[in-house]
Amino acid sequence: MHIHILGICGTFMGGVALLARQAGHTVSGSDENVYPPMSTQLELQGIELCEGYDPAHITDQVDQVVIGNAMSRGNPVVEYVLNNNLPYTSGPQWLAENVLSNRWVLAVAGTHGKTSTSSMVAWILDYAGLNPGFLIGGVPSNFGLSARYGDYPFFVVEADEYDTAFFDKRSKFVHYQPRTCILNNLEFDHADIFDDVGAIKKQFQHLVRTVPGQGKLIVNGADPNLDDVLEMGCWTPVEKFSVAGEYWSIRDCVEDGSEFEVWVDGQFAAPVKWKMHGAHNRLNALAAVAATRHAGVPVEKACEALGDFKGIKRRLEVLGQVDGVTVYDDFAHHPTAIIETLSAVKELSGNGRILAVLEPRSNTMRMGVHKKRLLDSLQQADLIYLYQPASIDWNLRDLARHSAVTADVYDDVADIIHDLIKQARPGDHIVIMSNGGFKSIHTRLLQALEKKAA
């Protein structure tokens, strides 16, 4: 079968493309932004990429079109598909029908931590010799790719609450029908499609309704919004986790977070010694251990696996260290995620300063929904650098002048790099936060640091 994917270079749709290719299909795709690393990953798998959305990309050999949720009515190729009555479906629907059917699906949902937790779950299952399939919204360093067909029965999927497609406004995750489901947390996000947090709770309740009675829900016990979701109806056994939870909990964590203990139902279960940092990552790990136990992996084995977990690209990823200055790339684009990211850097920074660089790029950020919380989320930093994109219709300078920490606003990335170079000194930690490419600031900054050190 020849499948053509619209929006193929998005993280999710790129993963669908990889799975389709691994399943033996001929795969091609179109996107207006065809660039590495996704383009390279796809081309290495023999997937043909087309720049732009020209209807001519859909040849007579195409049997089905898979349409990403970034596509909308009015797009010329979408109109071509509809006008010519071509078979089409959404990415989540294709995944459910062609990959997830008859498999033990482990899904990870939540406003934060989906990618990290999904990666941990997949790695624990792999470490246990189960060779799971997975589709993750990032690239786990243990695997080097975002999707794998894997062996039956296990498949791990990052379960996103964003909508499915222009013709299906349900959340993606309602298609997945997981047997094991992690609910990490729930906050207001995606203001472009949800009116309020109640609308998101409703979608999470729809997900809960798809988990079988013989399945398992692994739920953050410290999140009242998730309590509300369960109170709407729950037909599945629930195991709750939190730092000091009654069932799954964390104890005896060392100062830098590199060692802690996992406790289950008031009993010590196993130690974890690993390379990750941050309270959020420890909770992600706790949820992953709980989920994989439901899939048959002993707690001791799961905790041992975490010792070899290498993290995820763009999740507090160390890009380089030059003359004692460490540069990180992080995907944080929500105030809570920013707080957790900077807290993790605090754990490992010692006496070093934290220089926080932020591009508020997500739809919710651009709309200014979280601007009142944004400034507070950055206050753990020693210096704050804010980029003012042209696409934002509110002024970050109005925000910065109320900061207790020195905060500067820039219209040009080159100016940010200039000031960072002037300010940086050995021992500093520069944390660059954006859910996009941020005009290649990471590479340009490292090059400038190297030039300065030469």
Reported as a single tens digit per residue, the pLDDT across 45-65 is 899 999 999 999 999 999 999
Reported as a single tens digit per residue, the pLDDT across 369-416 is 677 788 888 999 999 999 988 878 788 888 888 888 898 999 999 999
- Per-residue pLDDT at 373: 81
What beta strand segments (E) does 96-138 contain?
104-109, 133-135
What is the pLDDT averaged over residues 426-439? 88
Reported as a single tens digit per residue, the pLDDT across 227-279 is 999 999 999 999 999 988 789 999 988 888 889 999 999 999 999 999 888 88
Residue 363 has pLDDT above 70, yes or no: no
pLDDT bracket for residue 360 (50, 70, 90): confident
- Per-residue pLDDT at 74: 95
Residue 199, CA atoms < 13 Å, CB-side half-sphere: 15
Q: Is 190 left (phi over 0), alpha (psi -120 to 50) or beta?
A: left
Angle between helices 279-294 and 299-306 (to 10 degrees): 140
Residue 368 has pLDDT above 70, yes or no: no
For the question of whether the overall pTM of this predicted structure is more than 0.75, the answer is yes
Percent of the chain residues topping a pLDDT of 90 = 66
Within 8 A by CB and 6+ apart from 83, the residues are none
- Per-residue pLDDT at 191: 66
Residue 445 has pLDDT above 90, yes or no: yes
Arithmetic mean of pLDDT over the chain: 91
Cβ atoms within 10 Å, residue 101: 10
Reported as a single tens digit per residue, the pLDDT across 155-203 is 999 999 989 999 999 999 999 999 999 999 998 776 677 778 899 999 9
- Per-residue pLDDT at 451: 87
* Domains in the chain, CATH or no CATH each: 2-90 (3.40.50.720), 102-306 (3.40.1190.10), 317-453 (3.90.190.20)
- Per-residue pLDDT at 351: 79
Asked whether 139 and 312 are in contact (CB, 8 A), the reply is yes
pLDDT bracket for residue 364 (50, 70, 90): low
What is the pLDDT averaged over residues 308-335? 86
CA dist 328 and 206 (Å) reads 37
CA dist 136 and 13 (Å) reads 11
Q: Which residue has the tokens 């606003």?
A: 409
Residue 289 has pLDDT above 90, yes or no: yes
- Per-residue pLDDT at 331: 81
